Amino acid sequence: MRTKTLLASTSAALLLTAALAGCSSPAGSGSGADASMSPMPTMSASEAAMMSVTGTFAGENGKNVAGTVTILGDTITLSDFSSDEGPDLHLYLAKGTSEADVTAGTEIAGVKWDAASQTFTLPAGVDAADYTYLVVHCDKALAVFGAAPLSS
């Protein structure tokens, strides 16, 4: 009987040791208890402003729009941009691509349909991270020509 109790106690001690070993991490790995207690690094306002947001344009409503957008800080850059011609094309930051989304969005500036490279400045106080699309909109015809979904 004593042998069974001793074996059971030894087995329990080995299981406990194995379980605890599985919860620890190798020295210097940075994922132990001490690492989880360290504060998360915070981003300064200037670092947050310099985060890059990008997107690729696609046409909507039977219109052709192509190219890419990069937003870095307060600068919007269109590259390899092209669009069907429109009488009054503008860029809007919006949370969708419907006419209502554009109306609720923020107008950036007029955009040239035939200039492959264009650069714009975000209006003061506008954060591109608050929006999900950069939309090419014809203000005169009240029509969305195309949009680029934005991602970080």
Q: What is the DSSP string of 75-113?
A: EEEEEEEEE---SSEEEEEESSSSHHHHHHSEEEEE--T
Question: pLDDT tens for residues 42-63?
Answer: 545 545 556 799 999 999 999 9
Residue 150 has pLDDT above 80, yes or no: yes
Give the pLDDT confidence of 72-95 residue by residue, as tens digits: 999 999 999 999 999 999 999 999
Q: Which residue matches tokens 């591109």?
A: 128
pLDDT at 38 (0 to 100)? 46
Cβ-contact 92, 102 below 8 angstroms: yes
Locus of tokens 């106690």: 9
